[in-house]
Amino acid sequence: MTASAPPAAAGGAVLGRRRGLMLVLSSPSGAGKTTISRELLRLEPDLSLSVSVTTRTPRPSERDGIDYHFIDAARFHALRDANDLLESAEVFGNFYGTPRQPVDAALAAGQDVLFDVDWQGTQQLRAAARSDLVSVFILPPSGEALEQRLNTRAQDSAEVIARRMARAADEISHWSEYDYAVVNAEVADCVRAVQSILHGERLKRDRQTGLPRFVQSIQAALTSRHG
């Protein structure tokens, strides 16, 4: 006797297309958010990174359209004034923002989009996206561990590290505004935890756009045979 295959668990071939979601990761500098993001993108084929626009000058290693979309200030203000940015911010005299159109297209196609933004950007995204947004705050295992990670990176001066540590306290104070909080004691465990969040959120009823028709087909079959 051959067993029949079960329905696709995440709203796949049997249930039809689902709506994508916006996965936001925030953390203080040094908590491991960039490493976790890279692992998620490697492990999750239906997850892509949102590419921001910025008015700052590209760094030597950065590629236009991959790391950022590099535009001038006039173009940035035109996008913002037309409400074509989901969120925007000014940092050290440069402007950053998330283009709306690519994100909307990805969500409609069932593609999930990953965002690396701070708590202020998360608030803007929540106001613009509402039920499409899933927010996760990454916490360090301790303040000492956070400082050690910043020192181990050897990318910043002692003055910059001290400034980042002072800012971290303010950033961490916003942890309760997020849907989920995950402690990054071990990267592999943290990645698995965020994957569990992602997989669970994909199964939410409202995101499985093919689910009503699937349920109706079951009801119709049962009615025709036993009604």
Residue 60 lies in a domain: no
Residue 39 lies in a domain: yes
Which CATH number covers residue 137? 3.40.50.300
Determine how many CB atoms are found less than 10 A away from the CB of residue 62: 13
The helix (run of H) or strand (run of E) holding residue 192 is helix 187-202
Average pLDDT, the chain: 88
Residue 87 lies in a domain: no
Q: For 36-90, what is each residue's pLDDT tens digit? A: 999 999 999 999 999 999 999 998 889 999 989 999 999 999 999 999 999 999 9
Q: What is the pLDDT confidence band of residue 137, given thresholds at 50, 70 and 90?
A: very high
Domain count, the chain: 1
Residue 9 lies in a domain: no
Residue 57 lies in a domain: no
Q: Give me the domain span that covers residue 32.
A: 22-50+111-213
Q: How far is CA 156 from CA 28, 90, 100, 150, 178, in A?
A: 15, 22, 33, 8, 29
Query: Would you say the pTM of this structure is higher than 0.85?
Result: no
Residue 176 lies in a domain: yes
Distance, in Å, from the CA atom of 142 to the CA atom of 183, rounded to the nearest integer, reads 9
Query: What does the pLDDT read at residue 144?
Result: 86
